[in-house]
Amino acid sequence: MSDAIAISEDAVLGGRLRLRQPTSGHRAGHDAILLAAATAARPGDRVVDLGAGVGTAGLALARRVGGLALTLVEREPYLASLARDNADANELPAAVAVLDVAAEAAAFAAAGLGPDSVDVVLMNPPFHDDARHRASPDAARATAHMATATTLEIWTHAARRMLKSAGVLTLIWRADAVGEVLAALARGFGSVAIQPVHGQAGKPAIRILVRAVKGGRAPTQIWPGVMLNEAAGAPSEDIRRVLEGQGALALAGPLNGDRV
């Protein structure tokens, strides 16, 4: 990793997790913590965090659920190196694979992530529409944030290939593009559950958390929304506890028989 990259050390989960990350570019935020809090996993599960960056979501999940066999997949070597450092510093065992999500199946298999081998995948793909948002002049931030027409298809394909039958995918995406998510999940996934995330009570959702099961057959469900802030603008007590690592979201609950 280049010495020219400035690094900060930051506390998340109310100090339960400490992360070294670049001071510029894509940085740990609420999206990654909400994703981890919405992910259903059990001790012993083999879990993959796709596009892990410095490991925020995967390590936050590992802090909540002990005994995971966690792999952090990140294509940028300097971020992958930080993810490895963060796993070690927080004493959370994790493998790190320097791998592009769009890589062929053989590359995933060479990294130990062959077809039908994983119980849980979580992912926070780039989701801003480049037709509606101006890309950041920071190349790393732009790459991490801006979606293309095939982003969801590529990422869900990689997840579907790795997951075992009845394996679970959890992702976070823009709320105004829920149709894109459902279309991407139509091949190979079912038992979809959606939980909207609202920046403020009484306002439209800004994000959706989505859980889907490989081969699932249950009907799609929409769960009560998450309110980051109350109508008066103050953080809600429930979400404060989640962001501080003291609780999980509804999507992280039992899967009603899809996993056996």
pLDDT computed for residue 57 by the predictor: 98
Q: What is the Cβ-side half-sphere exposure of residue 11, based on CA atoms within 13 angstroms? A: 5
- Comparing CA positions, the residue from 121, 94, 111 lying closest to residue 38 is 121
User: CB-based burial of residue 202 (10 Å sphere; 0-12 exposed, 13-18 middle, 19+ buried)?
Assistant: exposed
pLDDT computed for residue 234 by the predictor: 78
Paired tokens of 2: 């280049």
pLDDT computed for residue 6 by the predictor: 92
Phi, psi of 190, rounded to the nearest 5 degrees:
-155, -165
pLDDT computed for residue 230 by the predictor: 82
Prediction pTM value: 0.89
Pairing of strands 189-198, 221-222: parallel
Which segments of the chain are extended strands (E)? 7-12, 17-22, 46-50, 69-74, 94-98, 118-123, 128-129, 146-147, 163-174, 189-198, 205-214, 221-222, 226-227
pLDDT computed for residue 2 by the predictor: 44
**Measuring CA to CA, how many Å separate 251 from each of 76, 169, 171, 234, 260?**
30, 11, 11, 24, 17
Paired tokens of 186: 């139509």
Non-local CB neighbours of 237 within 8 Å, separated by 6+ positions = none
| Separation CA 72–CA 87 (nearest Å) | 10
| Separation CA 162–CA 189 (nearest Å) | 13
pLDDT computed for residue 142 by the predictor: 43
pLDDT computed for residue 131 by the predictor: 54
Which segments of 24-125 are extended strands (E)? 46-50, 69-74, 94-98, 118-123
**Measuring CA to CA, how many Å separate 219 from each of 84, 147, 239, 243?**
39, 28, 27, 29
Task: Give the tens place of pLDDT for each residue, 137-164.
Answer: 444 444 444 567 799 999 999 999 999 9
Counting as low any pLDDT under 70, the low residues of the chain are 1-4, 128-147, 256-260
Task: Give the tens place of pLDDT for each residue, 213-257.
Answer: 999 999 999 999 999 988 777 778 888 999 999 999 999 998 755
**Domains in the chain, please, with CATH?**
43-244 (3.40.50.150)
CB 32 within 8 A of CB 59: no
